[in-house]
Structure 1
Amino acid sequence: MKLFDVIPEGLFQLLTGSNKQIYAEILLLLFENTQSERFGVRYEVMRDLIQELLETRLELGESISDLDEEEKPPIQHGLEQISLEEVTRAKANAILRRLERMRWVDVETRSQFDRYLVLPHYASKLIGLFKELCEAKTVEYQRFAFLIYQSLTGEAAKQQPCSAVLSAAEVSRQFRQELITLYNNMKSHMEQVVQKTTIQDVLDHHFEQYKSQIIDKSYHRLKTSDHVAKYRMQILNTVQQWLLDSTLLEEAVLDGVKSGLYAVIEEAERAVKEALFFIEDTFLGLDELFYQIDVRHNQYLRSSYERARYLSQQNEGTEQQIARLLEMLNRNSPLDEEDRIFSVRQTRTLTEYSLLPPRRKRAPHQPEVHVVVDIPDHIREELKGKSVEKIRKAVTRKKVDDYVLQRLEGRTEMELLELAPKTAEEFILLGYVYLYGNDGGSRFNIRRKAERQVLLIGGYRFDNHTIEQKRGPNKDDVSGIG
């Protein structure tokens, strides 16, 4: 679909004439009222608000250019007898007619012949974007990373994996766009500061615009408390799991087809992989983005400093100009040196700070006395007990083997279902059962089932497989720390 199949031609002509500023204020005013009046703003209410806006501008001494010829209010005679209220009322009606004609608003006539102003979908989105551009809002970059991580690892990823991946990719796209916007805004501010003509303008721009809008609300937060490093590696590891685990990927693809997002499996698989690759590319490329943002920030600081230094050298202050004028008058005076009325010289008095201070010999280093303090017996015993307890709680291969063989109770095989954890410690042991049951060094093996069976017991989620005991003694049995 093409752009002008969605929006009407000539839509932006409203913002190109001599009245573009007043039209922009009216559009933002209309947008704010449509947010509170969800089903449309009454025609009379909006007309009164526009009339009040026009009267306020006139009272503040601001000039309002005449409207276009076809939009001038129909007032022909007796202009000297028309009040300000009647003129602004006629202009407000003319503005509303032009907004309707240029398709910025739709006028609906409802019951009791009441008319309402309704924003078309394209106008609502455009004005919302204008409002967002006018507001220097604070961006929470870490929020994007948290939402992406939550989408990929939360409950939604288990119930609707395809939607979760697509949602994470969309948030990643917004996150990347915010970083690029910050980079471009720095460039825009740098171009603005080099066009300033006075030192005061440079300082005002640096502290009131760049520092308040860029450093305080974006750059400083990005480099300190709002840094995304907390979730970055976790997101990349999770994306790798999705890409390498064919079972997870297959579940997401089937979910995309079942939910109606895609028609065929091939299309769903391509979309899910593209979304995962986009998330991975976004977070792998953060170092380059951060580096370029730092470079742009340093360029702005250098440009601001160089502009201020140039202006300070070119623009002399009042005192400097007077001193320079007196010096020129004295130099061009026809009188002799001793007969001149005044003499301008630059003198500097000799003080103790004018000379270099004598070098002082550094005192020899005196190390602190090392004092050996004996550890009391009760503290020694306490530390020894903690070490023994730590070793006892450590998960070893022998501990895992004994745990599994005890649950087998002489049988040759059993299902992992019988090892369903009830505590966090048993859940950790279950992870080591998976690990040692596949490396061939334990007294049991794990035989995977052909069809995947996912169990959710007691809040713990794991795959169900078969554990079978090895025959004969295990020569590789060791009890090293797992």
Structure 2
Amino acid sequence: MDTYKLFMHIPENFFSILSGKLKELHTDLLFLIYEQYKKSIFVIDRDVIVDLFIEYFETHDMEYADEEDNNLRDAKERAFHYISKFNHHGWITQEHYLDYSVKISIPDYSIKMLETFHKISTGYQMEFSGHVLSIYQNLMGEEGQTYVAIHQAYQTTKELTDGLKGLNHNIKKYTEKLLDVDDIKEILKQIFDEYELKVLGSHYYRLKSSDHISKYRTKIIKKVRDFSFNHVLVAEQARLMAKDKFSPDISTAESEIFEWLDAIERSFGMMDEILGEIDSRNQKYHRVATQRVKMKVGQTQNFSSKINKILLYLSEQIKENGDRKLIDEEFSSQIQLFKQESLEESSYKYPSQARPKINPTAVQMPIINTDIKQKKMDKFKERLKEEKTIKDINSYVNKVMQDKRELTLSEFPMDNKEEWVNLIYSILYSKSKKANYSLSKPDKLNRVTETEQGIVPNQKIIRK
């Protein structure tokens, strides 16, 4: 098995500053550098970072300090100390220029780490619909038949599936977190301020509504399959990849192209399962949230809970003063017991009531034109002729299958409109108890089959 040898690419003591009592201070200062890096084009002047650190030290209570801080006189020395510390651990690099200025740059591995930490700490939300649109535009654009477009679509598809998997995990995490909260205000805050805004947000709702993935999926899968079946185009793009040094040789390039295309098709084919799992966990979260809110509200407003408080008070009084001492008059005045009786409507003692009088009125029958009536009847009869009963479809399936035990849907005749209608009715009636056949489960990897006449589900008709 291949080893990745992570510490051949990053310093060995890289992660040491993220542990211990100063980890919060270190991450705060690193985020200041990262924010400044995003604003700069190339490198950052060290004096800018020093000023940012000094401002941080002067505006924050330093409850924790490095052991070496005891020898530092002021905030400026402390700022230089932490810059040197980050440089020593490999988070930044310092470069000395000919004009005696010092510039700070961030290595690529450090940028990726800080970007990930920043997304986690700020509750970053992926724009799911934007990723789907980007994949669609890459494949359908003028450059859609180039390896560059295919590779970009593959990378975006991978980001999309990783984002949906992360969303699925976050819902589970917030469901478990909700169970640990007892205060009703905190429960509501977590539901509306954290979960709805930071976890789901409007991006996922758009993906499920106005920008639904099915809006683009069919065309994306068709484009990917057309590219896969076009071996001349694949060979041409593989030669370009080898020529551009994107791959070591043509054979490897062809394998990579087919791998990208297959990954895109499989991802979009299984997208419904991922979205279904997210919806299921989302519904579970809302059930848990509803139960928690009802329970907490019930504890404060429920009549039985008030009785429970009264009984607890009385039990404490009995423990302190014994069971023979009278309770306070003020407390007694708050409790008023009385007998309340009511009759059920079904009781024979329930007084009968007079039924309201109904004043019938004549209804004016509309006059229907005979020609219009005949046209509608003829249209209705024509529609009835086109409809297929379960008996008709059973006969049709038996005729097509002949003596076979099972038959794939792609083997059914599809040469005209009538045969397509019969195929559709065969699929619809497959779940009926009166059907003489059943439909197999869809293949998870290849959900559809492409024929000369069109695309049909990759399923089989099986005799019962």
TM-score (norm 1): 0.64
Cα offset, 1:150, TM superposition: 2.1
Q: Deviation digits for residues 303-345 of structure 1, max 9, x if unmatched?
A: 32344455556789997776445544787652689x9972635
2:40 partner amino acid: E
2:22 maps to 1:32? no
Cα pair distance change 1:231/1:325, threshold 3 Å: same
CA distance in 1, matches of 2:309, 2:111: 59
**1:87 — aligned with what?**
74
Cα pair distance change 1:257/1:371, threshold 3 Å: farther
1:185 partner amino acid: N
Alignment of 1:447-462 (within 5 A): none
2:75 maps to 1:72? no
Percent identical among aligned pairs is 23
**1:182 — aligned with what?**
167
**2:88 — aligned with what?**
101
**1:49 — aligned with what?**
52
CA distance in 1, matches of 2:124, 2:50: 30
Point out where structure 1 has 5 or more consecutive residues left out of the alignment. 76-85, 377-482
Cα pair distance change 1:375/1:320, threshold 3 Å: same
CA distance in 2, matches of 1:314, 1:235: 53
CA distance in 1, matches of 2:365, 2:161: 56
2:178 partner amino acid: V
User: Is the CA contact (8 Å cut-off) linking 1:108 and 1:115 kept in structure 2?
Assistant: yes
2:181 maps to 1:196? yes
User: Is the CA contact (8 Å cut-off) linking 1:66 and 1:72 kept in structure 2?
Assistant: yes
RMSD: 3.8
Cα offset, 1:258, TM superposition: 3.6
Q: Deviation digits for residues 342-367 of structure 1, max 9, x if unmatched?
A: 26356696799x97999999x99x99
Cα offset, 1:199, TM superposition: 2.4
CA distance in 2, matches of 1:33, 1:111: 23
2:290 partner amino acid: Y
Q: 1:219 pairs with 194, 198, 204, which one?
A: 204
**2:141 — aligned with what?**
154
Q: Deviation digits for residues 358-408 of structure 1, max 9, x if unmatched?
A: 9999x99x99966647999xxxxxxxxxxxxxxxxxxxxxxxxxxxxxxxx
User: Is the CA contact (8 Å cut-off) linking 2:128 and 2:204 kept in structure 1?
Assistant: no
CA distance in 2, matches of 1:157, 1:341: 81
Q: Deviation digits for residues 254-295 of structure 1, max 9, x if unmatched?
A: 333343323433212211111111011000001110111011
| Secondary structure in 1 matching 2:71 | coil
Alignment of 1:281-296 (within 5 A): 281-296=266-281
Q: 2:259 pairs with 261, 274, 277, which one?
A: 274
CA distance in 2, matches of 1:207, 1:350: 45
User: Is the CA contact (8 Å cut-off) linking 2:171 and 2:282 kept in structure 1?
Assistant: yes
Cα pair distance change 1:374/1:125, threshold 3 Å: farther
CA distance in 2, matches of 1:240, 1:324: 73
**1:114 — aligned with what?**
101
Cα offset, 1:214, TM superposition: 2.2
2:2 maps to 1:3? no
Q: 2:150 pairs with 157, 160, 165, which one?
A: 165
2:218 partner amino acid: M
**1:14 — aligned with what?**
17
CA distance in 2, matches of 1:139, 1:125: 17
Of 309-318 and 279-288, the range deviating more from structure 2: 309-318
Larger radius of gyration between Structure 1 and Structure 2: 1
User: Is the CA contact (8 Å cut-off) linking 1:330 and 1:342 kept in structure 2?
Assistant: no
Point out where structure 2 has 5 or more consecutive residues left out of the alignment. 373-464
User: Is the CA contact (8 Å cut-off) linking 1:139 and 1:218 kept in structure 2?
Assistant: yes
| Secondary structure in 2 matching 1:204 | helix
Cα pair distance change 1:214/1:351, threshold 3 Å: farther
| Secondary structure in 1 matching 2:24 | helix
| Secondary structure in 2 matching 1:112 | coil
Cα pair distance change 1:249/1:21, threshold 3 Å: same
Q: 1:342 pairs with 320, 332, 340, which one?
A: 332
Q: Deviation digits for residues 154-195 of structure 1, max 9, x if unmatched?
A: 21134xx22222221111111111111111111111121111
2:250 maps to 1:260? no
Cα pair distance change 1:117/1:261, threshold 3 Å: closer
User: Is the CA contact (8 Å cut-off) linking 1:262 and 1:268 kept in structure 2?
Assistant: yes
CA distance in 1, matches of 2:363, 2:232: 64
CA distance in 2, matches of 1:340, 1:101: 73
User: Is the CA contact (8 Å cut-off) linking 1:139 and 1:217 kept in structure 2?
Assistant: no
| Secondary structure in 2 matching 1:261 | coil
CA distance in 2, matches of 1:189, 1:233: 34
Cα offset, 1:203, TM superposition: 1.6
User: Is the CA contact (8 Å cut-off) linking 1:137 and 1:217 kept in structure 2?
Assistant: no
Cα pair distance change 1:176/1:72, threshold 3 Å: same
Cα pair distance change 1:239/1:374, threshold 3 Å: farther
User: Is the CA contact (8 Å cut-off) linking 2:93 and 2:104 kept in structure 1?
Assistant: yes
Of 181-190 and 210-219, the range deviating more from structure 2: 210-219
TM-score (norm 2): 0.66
Cα pair distance change 1:119/1:329, threshold 3 Å: closer
**2:234 — aligned with what?**
249
1:303 partner amino acid: V
User: Is the CA contact (8 Å cut-off) linking 1:141 and 1:226 kept in structure 2?
Assistant: no
Alignment of 1:362-441 (within 5 A): 372=368
CA distance in 2, matches of 1:129, 1:368: 75
CA distance in 2, matches of 1:91, 1:172: 45
CA distance in 2, matches of 1:247, 1:368: 75
CA distance in 2, matches of 1:33, 1:281: 40
Cα pair distance change 1:335/1:277, threshold 3 Å: same
